[in-house]
């Protein structure tokens, strides 16, 4: 692609600032003297030469992948692969509202990230009225743990790992007792959420979190596959087949009328 | 990140310090995608932001696919 004549700026005014010989299509272009309202740089452009999408039925199961760092209040440098709060939350709202969607599968391979963003996503998944199943592949560390347990049923791949360790404070830390109190409070939010939405008792989770001798440069524990199930953090060990089977089962169960007294 | 590879680390991570891609979020046929601009009218698809698994089966939206823009 010879781009030496093309403007470097990807701007809405492109067709009228480019030399004529570079116009790709031969259709006469009528210059629009009225300046267009500026939106996103591509808002007055459309694609060219594309096939129309293949017709396919709508999936009744939607899937959200949580990968890399969970990004909340701060934008991370571009070499980080991130799952953004503002992408996930509207999707969860849409899934809750769309009557064609009957279940949600959450696939996790995350190294943790922003505590508030992670807890926000987890709270959204917990309060979803539709059946949810989570599957941890690779890793569901730190703040990935509350997201994993927030689903109605959680699965972990046999080789996947979960690291449980204390929360750390970044930036300015003032050496006063209040700093500890604050940190403890932040940690309690995570501990409370995890223990309320999984089978693990609070004492056991705290014990794993503050265990020494397991991690070389930190305190905490790494749980691999079945170990996470054994301590009661994750419901079962499995892969995509088991996860989808469970999700379909939960969907059928939820669609059945309740077996309570006769509704008159 | 834990790497498990026989390749030397300086080869694997070469250029990672000055890697700063300029990604942009656009909507293509109602689907939100992350694109990386190649020049003023071409861009390649980096990521599809969707919870609908079938959106990932559209060949025009496969990661790496080149999209071309034209004036309306």
| CA separation for the pair A99, A101 (Å, rounded) | 5
- In degrees and rounded to multiples of 5, residue A139 shows phi and psi of -155, 145
| CA separation for the pair A99, A95 (Å, rounded) | 8
Which residues of B fall below an 8 Å CB-CB distance to A? 1, 16, 19-21, 23-24, 26, 28-29, 32, 37-42, 49-54, 57-60, 67-72
CATH homologous superfamily of A61-71+79-253: 2-enoyl-CoA Hydratase; Chain A, domain 1 (3.90.226.10)
Which residues in chain B have Cβ-Cβ distances shorter than 8 Å to A40?
A: 24, 26
Chain B touched by A91 (CB under 8 Å) = yes
More confident residue, B59 or A93: A93
The residue with tokens 């500890």 is: A180
H helices within chain A, ranges in order? 14-17, 85-97, 115-126, 144-150, 177-196, 202-209, 226-230, 240-255
Cβ pair A246, A186 in contact under 8 A: no
Average pLDDT on B35-54 reads 90
Orientation of helix A115-126 relative to helix A177-196, angle to 10°: 30
Beta pairing, strands A61-71 & B66-71: unpaired
pLDDT digits (tens, 9 = 90+) for B15-30: 888 887 888 899 888 8
Average pLDDT, rounded, for chain A: 82
Statement: residue A119 has pLDDT above 80: yes
| CA separation for the pair A176, A183 (Å, rounded) | 12
Q: Extract the tokens encoding A56.
A: 């396919």
CA atoms within 13 A on the CB side of A229: 16
Statement: residue A121 has pLDDT above 50: yes
- What Rg value do the Cα atoms of chain A yield, rounded? 24
Cβ pair A109, A137 in contact under 8 A: yes
A52 band by pLDDT with thresholds 50, 70 and 90? low
Q: Extract the tokens encoding A53.
A: 């999408």
Residue to substitute from B14, B38, B48, B51, interface A, most A β-carbons within 10 A: B51
Classify B57 as helix, strand or coil: helix
Q: What is the pLDDT of residue A80?
A: 84
| CA separation for the pair A59, A104 (Å, rounded) | 11
A76, closest residue in chain B (CA to CA): B20
Which residues in chain A have Cβ-Cβ distances shorter than 8 Å to B18?
A: none
Which residues in chain B have Cβ-Cβ distances shorter than 8 Å to A57?
A: 54
Secondary structure element (H or E) that encloses residue B12, with its range:
helix B9-12
Residue ranges covered by each domain of chain A: 61-71+79-253
Q: Extract the tokens encoding A135.
A: 């599957």
Average pLDDT on A85-114 reads 94
Q: Extract the tokens encoding A253.
A: 């169960």
pLDDT digits (tens, 9 = 90+) for A191-241: 999 999 999 999 999 999 999 888 888 889 999 999 999 999 999 999 999
Cβ pair A71, A114 in contact under 8 A: yes
Q: What is the pLDDT of residue A144?
A: 95
Contact A48 B68 (CB under 8 A): yes
- As beta bridge partners, residue B29 has none
Cβ pair A64, A77 in contact under 8 A: no
């Amino acid at each position: 692609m010879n781009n030496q004549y093309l403007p470097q700026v990807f701007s809405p005014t492109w067709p009228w600032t480019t030399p004529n010989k570079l116009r790709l299509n031969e259709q006469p272009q009528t210059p629009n003297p009225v300046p267009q309202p500026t939106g996103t740089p591509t808002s007055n452009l459309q694609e060219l030469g594309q096939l129309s999408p293949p017709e396919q039925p709508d999936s009744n199961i939607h899937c959200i992948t949580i990968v890399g760092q969970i990004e909340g209040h701060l934008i991370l440098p571009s070499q980080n692969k991130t799952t953004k709060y503002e992408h996930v939350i509207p999707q969860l709202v849409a899934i809750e509202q769309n009557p064609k969607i009957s279940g949600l599968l959450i696939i996790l391979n995350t190294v943790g990230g922003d505590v508030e963003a992670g807890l926000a996503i987890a709270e959204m998944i917990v309060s979803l009225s539709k059946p949810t199943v989570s599957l941890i592949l690779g890793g569901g560390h730190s703040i990935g743990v509350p997201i994993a347990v927030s689903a109605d049923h959680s699965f972990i791949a046999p080789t996947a790992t979960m690291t449980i360790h204390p929360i750390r404070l970044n930036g300015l830390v003032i050496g006063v007792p209040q700093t500890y109190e604050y940190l403890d409070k932040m940690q309690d939010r995570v501990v409370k959420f995890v223990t309320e939405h999984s089978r693990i008792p609070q004492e056991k989770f705290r014990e794993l979190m503050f265990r020494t001798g397991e991690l070389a440069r930190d305190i905490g524990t790494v749980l691999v596959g079945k170990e996470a199930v054994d301590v009661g953090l994750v419901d079962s060990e499995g892969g995509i087949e088991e996860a989808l089977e469970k999700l379909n089962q939960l969907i059928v169960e939820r669609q059945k009328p309740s077996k309570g007294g006769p509704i008159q | 990140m834990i790497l498990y590879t026989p390749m030397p680390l300086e080869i694997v991570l070469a250029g990672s310090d000055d890697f700063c891609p300029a990604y942009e979020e656009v909507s293509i046929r109602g689907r939100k995608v992350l694109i990386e601009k190649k020049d003023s009218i071409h861009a390649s698809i980096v990521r599809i932001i969707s919870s609908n698994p079938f959106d990932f089966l559209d060949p025009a939206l496969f990661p790496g696919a080149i999209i071309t823009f034209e004036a309306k």
